Chain A
Amino acid sequence: MRKRVMRMMGRAGALALLGMILAGPTNRLWALGEKSQEAFLRMRTVIFYDTQFSGRKFKVGDEMTVTGKFQLLPIWPKEIAFTGISWLNFFVPGPQFLRVGSWINGRFMSCSQLLELGGTYEYKTITRARYPGHWPVGVMLSMKDAGPLIGPSIYVDVDGSHEGFTNPIKTLLGNTVNLEDYGESRMLMWTLVTTLIGIAWLGFWLGRPFTTRLGVVAAGRAKELISGADKTVAVIFALGTIGLIVVANVMTASQFPHTIPIQETIIRNEPLPPEPSRVEAKVLDATYDVPSRTLAFRLEVHNTGDRPLVLKEFTTANVRFLNEQVPGNAWNPDFPEVYGGAMKITPSEPVAPGETKVLEVVMASAEWENQRLTMYHETTNRFGGLLFFSDPTGARSIIAVADQLVIPKFGVTQM
């Protein structure tokens, strides 16, 4: 008896807990899921850089602007389809922010855009806070047949209340409507009217004995169960229902004489003109040391400009590694990317104009593991990303690397 009571109490407790979880406020999300994507996909498809969020604290109704650039790496992995059909998406758990607008290279993105492999694009997204909470937000490039390719993200806090929030928009007929509840009462009313017809028809029949009819039908007396009066009522129901739909449509046509179909298309968007590059660089070989979590590669660099160049940064999969030997090239906590750590370059002296030399680049970081960017688990163990060179005036030369095989080093194994 006691066991039974305990079991019942346990079940009731579990149910109550489940109820609390389900009924609890949904103003927090703990994970974004970008790490679930394979390393080669995140490192060799799209690299976002120069991303800036206009703030981290907002009130309901405030606008947030996200700007930056991305490059579709020229050597796209063959395992991932490339169609170029793209949609710059904004990720947030549900419409807690409204997308006011997105632009790629200054072109408003109302529909998908056709982007080019190897192209660099500048983007801007403006959103407006709609619900209070602690939300992860960021940009992503959804690409047809390749899927979502995730850009940098941050957590933002939105204060205030959704109460009284409106989203007005002016139609081409001249009236202004609030998208938060536009058409809602009409929809509810028509749903109710049509549902009542169904309930009335059901009530007409379920008011009679139900299961006992099984026996009557089995006894071969089915005809007794439907009378002439029933048929008359049925005809009235059918004609009434069809007539109601006709009348409702005539009224709808007069209320909304100007309507257009759902709009969709794909427009081509040319990439930005190539930035002048003062450097040529190619990776000669690369290793990943598993015990020390270190990616190292040799880079042959040829300075084609007239000023000395230094390698300041390597960015991949929203993780940035900085050459902190360069004065002022330090991590800024406002960066939306993940801080990978210091990038050590040997020799550390700048590459002189006209000079060609081989640099040893070493990045030891726990983030290779934390971000699941280790390069020995996958079918395509290559790395990719963007190398940022800079001259003394601050002019950048950006080089994409995307096809270098990585040889893992597992260390000594005790047999």
Chain B
Amino acid sequence: MQYSQVDAEAKAVARKFDLVVIMSTFLVLIAGFHVHQMLVAGDWSFWIDWKDRNWWPIVAPVLEITFPAAVQAVLWTKFRMPIGATFCCLGLLFGEWMNRYINFWGWTHYPLNFVFPETFIPAAVVLDIVLMLTGNWIVTALVGGELWGWLFYPTNWVMVAPFHVPVEYQGSLMSIADVINYMYVRTSTPEYLRIVETGTMRSFAGGVTGVAAFFSAFCSVCMYVPWWLMGAHFFGSTKFFKNYESATAEVKNA
């Protein structure tokens, strides 16, 4: 058998192995990240009337930078692949859409415009690129984490803006998001459970979005660090794989 033929077959097998590894990882990430997201950011992601300008831009990015940081730690340090955050966020979006489409719309008939998920993908691509260009996870935490927080609200405002158009309903001033919440009965979530613009972060003539985004970016930086370290130390272990130097030393000592 020719060497080139063996080489070609080895490459083909390696690609198939790649596919299995990538697909398995993708499914695991969908499961893990989606559960994490539902538990920690749940209502802020589910409902259009929770997507406010104060808490949503804080809660969602701060709690969702976790998995991207951890997966980046593995894929960058072990594979030099700057795709960790994008890989995670595509998985999350896929999982969320399955949930919204099958459960919320298919089973219980909530309209999709009430329950659509937010997207992190543009911020994730930027986070990956910052890591790639700087090659340094601390700089990525500082710069990428900031951009992650800042980009979240404008990325999603494009989809959310139509739902903030004002309506007079039964003599009350409401946004369209409020009216959807009111009309499409959500028995388990009474109105007083919504957390909308409470707190004292009010400044800049009443605009809270900028303050929220700033705070979100700061917290995202802080969250990135422990999750990177967790990813690197708990999931990035390659004890089974000897590095070049130790393998060479073993051969010499044999």
Inter-chain pairs besides A140-B187, A262-B196, 9 sampled, C-beta below 8 Å = A94-B110, A95-B110, A95-B185, A97-B185, A169-B179, A194-B121, A210-B79, A211-B79, A245-B158
B residues less than 8 Å from A249 (CB atoms): 154, 157-158
A/B interface sample: 15 pairs, CB < 8 A = A89-B187, A99-B185, A172-B165, A180-B111, A195-B93, A202-B86, A206-B83, A214-B238, A217-B77, A218-B238, A220-B244, A245-B122, A259-B161, A262-B197, A264-B191
Q: Which of A38-46, A72-80, A105-113, A377-385 contacts B (4 or more CB under 8 A)?
A: A105-113
Dominant secondary structure of chain B at its interface with chain A: helix
User: Cβ of B129 and Cβ of A222 under 8 Å apart?
Assistant: no
In the complex with contacts A110-B169, A169-B167, A194-B122, A179-B187 CB distance below 8 A? no
A175 CA to B190 CA, complexed, in Å: 29
User: Cβ of A256 and Cβ of B192 under 8 Å apart?
Assistant: no
B residues less than 8 Å from A93 (CB atoms): 108, 187
A190 CA to B122 CA, complexed, in Å: 11
Q: B166's contact among A112, A177, A226, A260, by CB below 8 Å, is which?
A: A260
User: Cβ of B162 and Cβ of A182 under 8 Å apart?
Assistant: yes
Shortest distance between the CB of B11 and any CB in chain A (Å): 8
A residues less than 8 Å from B192 (CB atoms): 85-87, 112, 142, 144, 266
User: Cβ of B126 and Cβ of A238 under 8 Å apart?
Assistant: yes
A328 CA to B208 CA, complexed, in Å: 62
Does B174 lie at the interface of the complex (its beta carbon under 8 Å from any beta carbon of A)? yes
User: Cβ of A108 and Cβ of B171 under 8 Å apart?
Assistant: yes
Does A201 lie at the interface of the complex (its beta carbon under 8 Å from any beta carbon of B)? yes
User: Cβ of A211 and Cβ of B21 under 8 Å apart?
Assistant: yes
Does A36 lie at the interface of the complex (its beta carbon under 8 Å from any beta carbon of B)? no
User: Cβ of B243 and Cβ of A219 under 8 Å apart?
Assistant: yes
User: Cβ of B17 and Cβ of A211 under 8 Å apart?
Assistant: yes
In the complex with contacts A112-B190, A186-B162, A210-B79, A130-B90 CB distance below 8 A? no
Q: A262's contact among B126, B168, B175, by CB below 8 Å, is which?
A: B175
Does A231 lie at the interface of the complex (its beta carbon under 8 Å from any beta carbon of B)? yes
**Cβ proximity bits A222-259 to B, threshold 8 Å, 1 near / 0 not:** 10011000110011011001101110110010011011
Q: A259's contact among B121, B166, B185, B197, by CB below 8 Å, is which?
A: B166
Does B176 lie at the interface of the complex (its beta carbon under 8 Å from any beta carbon of A)? yes
Does B132 lie at the interface of the complex (its beta carbon under 8 Å from any beta carbon of A)? yes
CB contacts between A and B, total, < 8 Å: 282
A90 CA to B163 CA, complexed, in Å: 23
User: Cβ of B238 and Cβ of A94 under 8 Å apart?
Assistant: no
Residue of A whose beta carbon sits closest to that of B25: A210
In the complex with contacts A112-B192, A218-B241, A259-B165, A205-B82 CB distance below 8 A? yes
B residues less than 8 Å from A92 (CB atoms): 185, 187
Q: B164's contact among A170, A205, A261, A264, by CB below 8 Å, is which?
A: A261
User: Cβ of A183 and Cβ of B163 under 8 Å apart?
Assistant: yes
A residues less than 8 Å from B242 (CB atoms): 218
Dominant secondary structure of chain A at its interface with chain B: mixed
A residues less than 8 Å from B122 (CB atoms): 194, 197-198, 241-242, 244-245
User: Cβ of B14 and Cβ of A252 under 8 Å apart?
Assistant: no
Does A334 lie at the interface of the complex (its beta carbon under 8 Å from any beta carbon of B)? no
User: Cβ of A94 and Cβ of B125 under 8 Å apart?
Assistant: no
In the complex with contacts A210-B21, A211-B17, A261-B113 CB distance below 8 A? no
Report how many residues on chain A are interfacial, defined by Cβ distance under 8 Å: 94
B165, B168, B179, B182 pick with most chain A CB within 10 angstroms? B165
A190 CA to B121 CA, complexed, in Å: 11
In the complex with contacts A111-B191, A183-B162, A231-B132 CB distance below 8 A? yes
B residues less than 8 Å from A234 (CB atoms): 82, 129, 132-133
A73 CA to B83 CA, complexed, in Å: 60
Does A8 lie at the interface of the complex (its beta carbon under 8 Å from any beta carbon of B)? no
A residues less than 8 Å from B183 (CB atoms): 95, 98-100, 167, 179
A residues less than 8 Å from B93 (CB atoms): 191, 195
A89 CA to B185 CA, complexed, in Å: 8
User: Cβ of B121 and Cβ of A198 under 8 Å apart?
Assistant: yes
User: Cβ of B113 and Cβ of A184 under 8 Å apart?
Assistant: yes
Does B233 lie at the interface of the complex (its beta carbon under 8 Å from any beta carbon of A)? no
Q: B174's contact among A191, A222, A255, A263, by CB below 8 Å, is which?
A: A263
- Nearest first, the 4 closest Cβ-Cβ pairs linking A and B are A94-B108, A142-B190, A259-B164, A87-B190
For window 55-106 of A, CB contacts with B under 8 Å fall at 85-87, 89-101
In the complex with contacts A219-B243, A258-B166, A266-B192, A225-B18 CB distance below 8 A? no
A162 CA to B105 CA, complexed, in Å: 13
A148 CA to B185 CA, complexed, in Å: 14
